[in-house]
Structure 1
């Protein structure tokens, strides 16, 4: 039974409940450990069906979702969580992070969208409080993410735009804006970005 399988990952005795619906994060690891430390029981789901079961049967304080589950956008899942848990904090953490995705998830009821890859402990801190000891500027994280992928793509705009799922012209405008407004590099910010994977 799906609920029995999901419940194995739930630690009882917590005052708050967090749903993590992401095949890549639906295992015990740094993110779940940090959420447990913050007093959250963690329910995990790898599919929309599993996530739907959790949303139907549990009150949620927090939800961390990959935008695409089972090959489709999980916007209906975001809407369901918001309707059933109006005070829950919902964060979409995804490889599919662009302007249109940010607009769509916000309209569906999410509080914010974070691009992958990011340090799991930072993501847990951001989910719980909206801030992190390591990274205090979400826009700075987004900029670092774009600049890192652009550099890893050999500064090839076409390749980077495909990897970022951004319109080529939009990426060009962002890069131009970043070039015109240099910022002080932060070792804390850099440490929040994991090694990029282009599998």
Structure 2
């Protein structure tokens, strides 16, 4: 609980700093000032991302002993995930589409939402400007598969078993992620008893899929 409260206080402080940088940006004149502001802003953004990931880990752990499996609207869940990531995708020049289905699944919306948010964040991080991300669904008799497709850098086959380990970054030189996003995904999916699949072609993109039982089955 203390860590959660401390994390929330730190996030508020970081958001205040980000607002100050936006204000400073109005008075930037020289190229050296622009470089300094850009580097400082990236450091603050990365710190905020790490704090948010730590908070997510704490939420997942707190939910581990008592996941609340109940009917969850697929359409509403994916709409919320899209809304939270739309700006990040657009600012990077990535086209993001969502194709949901009007159905319900049996899951915990907090844990499943945390997994999906990290999958989409990961897709944005590893997709180059001009790329595409599709969040869609495929229905089966007793389950629904939620897919996150991207046209990103892809993952070599021999590295796929490692990607869900904590602090794993396949290309640290090109990506500044915290390395715990997919670890959070695996922990949430294990708690829920769902299944996750990965398919990827280096240089062409990846598909991460979560298989969730339909509500009432």
* TM-score above 0.5, yes or no: no
Q: Which has the higher contact order (CA 8 A, sep 6+)?
A: 2
Instruction: Give the TM-score range, shorter chain.
Output: under 0.3
The alignment's TM-score, normalised by the length of structure 2, stands at 0.24
Structure whose alpha-carbon radius of gyration is higher: 2
